[in-house]
Amino acid sequence: MHDLLDDYAHSSALRETSPRLKLLLGLGAMLLCVASPALIAPLLIAVTMSLVTVMLAKISGRFYSKLLLIPFSFSILSAAVVAFMHGGGDQLFAVNVFGIDLGMREDGANLALLLIARTFGGMCSLFFIALTTPMIEIFSVLKSLGLPDFLVELSMLMYRYIFVFLDQAAMIHSAQVMRLGDAGAKNSLNSFALLCSVLFLSSWEQGERLIVAMDSRCYDGKLDLMDQAAGAKPGAILAVAVYLAAATAIAVLTRDVLLL
């Protein structure tokens, strides 16, 4: 019904791997991308993370490439702006638009390329986490990291009901479309406002039903957490450590490399 990253995470081949290790890998790679002064390391991370996601986690390549279109579109747009706006270095080329000279200089181009590389590296790492680690696993990691219970429990309840309300919103939306609620901008806006208000009221009611449901099962302030998935295998820990160390080393060694 819905195409949710979380659903892919549930069926990924790395589902049973330790969530801590997956988070460490994803977050570590992401930080490296942001910290790296040159574009070699982020590019490498983008490629390796994509390979891990597609080959090891068995996420369909077609779906993954569609997903990459999202960072692609916004990074190209912002890179273009950066490339033309940043001065310094030799002028590479210039175009004349309506009498205004738009020039691209070396520094600007380099910065734009770095921006694209970092965006891709970071997004590929983020997608790796999102496509291999379901939210519920992240909750248990958060809890073990010492996040207060009430925050974890609240987020778990919110997570659960996202799906209930998503279904409800989809149903209300179809009910509106069926009666031409989307004909014209004015109608669409009106329908959307209605949908929001109805959804708000129904979430309120759902909250009341939730209290009844919890009370009738002797709610005493405790919400159990899923027991942790099996701990990480030594081999996997070693692989992640080697990978992160290698990526760091590459980032340090290639810090002065510029493409242009």
Q: How far is the CB of 78 from other proteins (least distance, A)?
A: 35
Nearest Cα neighbor of 116 from 106, 124, 104 is 124
129-154 as b/e: b if 16+ CB within 10 A: bbbbbbbbbbbbbbbeeeeeeeebbe
> Smallest distance, Å, CB 142 to other proteins?
13
Question: Taking the complex as a whole, how short is the minimal distance between the CB of residue 90 and other proteins, in angstroms?
Answer: 56
Q: How far is the CB of 24 from other proteins (least distance, A)?
A: 21
Nearer to other proteins, 229 or 247 (CB): 229
Q: Of 4 and 94, which has the nearer Cβ to other proteins?
A: 4
- Nearer to other proteins (CB atom), residue 19 or residue 122: 19
Task: Give me the least distance between CB of 141 and other proteins, in Å please.
Answer: 14
| 122 vs 134, beta carbon nearer other proteins | 134
Our CB check for other proteins shows the closer of 7 and 107 to be 7
Give the interface with other proteins as residue ranges (CB under 8 A).
6-7, 10, 134-136, 139, 156-157, 159-161, 163-164, 167, 206, 209-210, 212-227
